[in-house]
Amino acid sequence: MSLFMTDTSPSERKNLIGLDRAELLAELIAIGEKPFRVKQLWHWIYHQGETDFAKMTTLAKPSRAALTERFVISRPTVSTELTSEDNSRKWLLKFDDANEVECVFIPEEDSGALCISSQVGCTLNCAFCHTGTQKLVRNLTAAEIIGQLMVARDSYGEWPTPAGERWLRNIVMMGMGEPMYNFDNVAKALKIIMDGDGISISKRRITLSTAGVVPMMERCGDELDVNLAVSLHACTDELRDRLVPINRKYPIKELLAACRSYPGAKNSRRITFEYAMLKGVNDSVADAKQLVRMVSGLPAKFNLIPFNPWPGTEFECSSQAVINTFSKILNDGGLSAPVRRPRGRDIMAACGQLKSASERARRQKVTA
């Protein structure tokens, strides 16, 4: 409960999350505050994680009251929070227009990654991805993208931003949606997340995953220079056209050329190629050998993802033995190719699953 009373309802007040420093400054100046206050406010919002202006003790009381009157510092609503037996945690988050997205935290021994969504739904229609089956699509705002991380930090109690060890150390833009199709908002959000006076997650700990929107890759390198992951999934255009239809627009050759010129493509910072293991589709010895040839000369590593099945899919996951052989061929070709252990199966952690389940449940309720 805030110390300050206000006549305006929260929905009438503007959310300060997602504004960059210049925009925040403009809001402060508009209410007669001094420009230097922006640094203090930024620190409260993104370093302390404070949501109540009344508790921002470095600001004068009248300033706190003025801010309370006009603004909020709000997160998306948590519709569901689930913790898996393996300690993965997943949130289904609801925005003001009732749209929902998923966000998952996957802990590892030495590090953990928070998987953030960039869109409600997705326009790409990759054949094996569940998100593509969801109808509604809209871009998330910068506030909604950052809001996912704020919720995760609230949940793990990681405020103020820890100086040393922390759970939420890495971010992967690998949730629902294609981040390159919502690049402006993704870039704005990531710049706020990288800001050293606030959330302070470095570009080396952020990975942006794309299905291969070639014209945007250069801009991503120039503006953000975060790690790049590319959803490859096939070694011929014929197969990739079918699995990742954006390949018809930007075929493998163009995609690899864009990877080669990506600034992060150095030996110290390789490009990750994601590869979902689909039984009898893309998992042969010949496929593995072709991949080694295809990426030769490129500082690359592979991420072999056991296909995560969903109701109605035509695909199955390759057997463990096949995945191991595949991984070994890539290793022998000089490529790191760890097999992702399936995580959080008990909480439907795979892309799009929790949201679909919640929509099914709602439909059932409506028809009952």
Footprint on this chain of ligand SAH (rule: CB under 6 A): 126, 128-130, 174, 178, 209-211, 231, 274, 276, 305, 307-308, 350-351
The least distance separating ligand SAH from the CB of residue 260, rounded to whole angstroms, comes to 18
Torsion of CA 129, 134, 139, 143, to 10 degrees: -90
Our CB check for ligand SAH shows the closer of 151 and 176 to be 176
| Closest CB 297 distance from ligand SAH, rounded Å | 23
Q: Which of 122, 220, 235, 351 is catalytic?
A: 351
For ligand SAH, which is the closer residue by CB, 74 or 272?
A: 272
Query: Is 158 a residue of the active site?
Result: no
Both tokens of 305, joined, read 């993802």
In the complex with ligand SAH, the residue whose CB is nearer, 107 or 306, is 306
Q: How far is the CB of 351 from ligand SAH (least distance, A)?
A: 4
Please, which residue, 17 or 211, has the CB nearer to ligand SAH? Answer: 211
For 16: left if phi > 0, alpha if psi spans -120 to 50, otherwise beta; the answer is alpha
> 102 catalytic, yes or no?
yes
Closest distance to ligand SAH from the beta carbon of 126 (Å): 5
**Residue with smaller CB distance to ligand SAH, 65 or 216:** 216
- Residues in contact with 35: Cβ distance below 8 Å, sequence separation at least 6, in sequence order: 25, 28, 29
**Shortest distance (Å) from residue 240 CB to ligand SAH:** 11
CB of 7 to ligand SAH, least distance (A): 43
Q: Are 182 and 118 in contact (CB under 8 A)?
A: yes
Residue 19 or 335 with smaller CB distance to ligand SAH? 335
H-type alpha helices, the chain: 21-30, 37-42, 61-70, 142-156, 183-194, 214-223, 237-243, 252-260, 285-294, 320-332, 353-367
Scored b (16 or more CB within 10 A) or e, 102-137 reads bbbbbbeeeebbbbbbbbbbbebebbbbbbbebeeb
Asked if residues 206 and 190 have their Cβ atoms less than 8 Å apart, the reply is yes
Candidates 33, 100, 102, 178; catalytic one? 102
Residue 120: closest CA among 146, 92, 139: 139
Parallel, antiparallel, or unpaired for β 14-15 and 170-173? unpaired
Task: Answer for the pair 211, 246: CB distance below 8 angstroms, yes or no.
Answer: yes
Q: Which residues belong to the active site? A: 102, 351
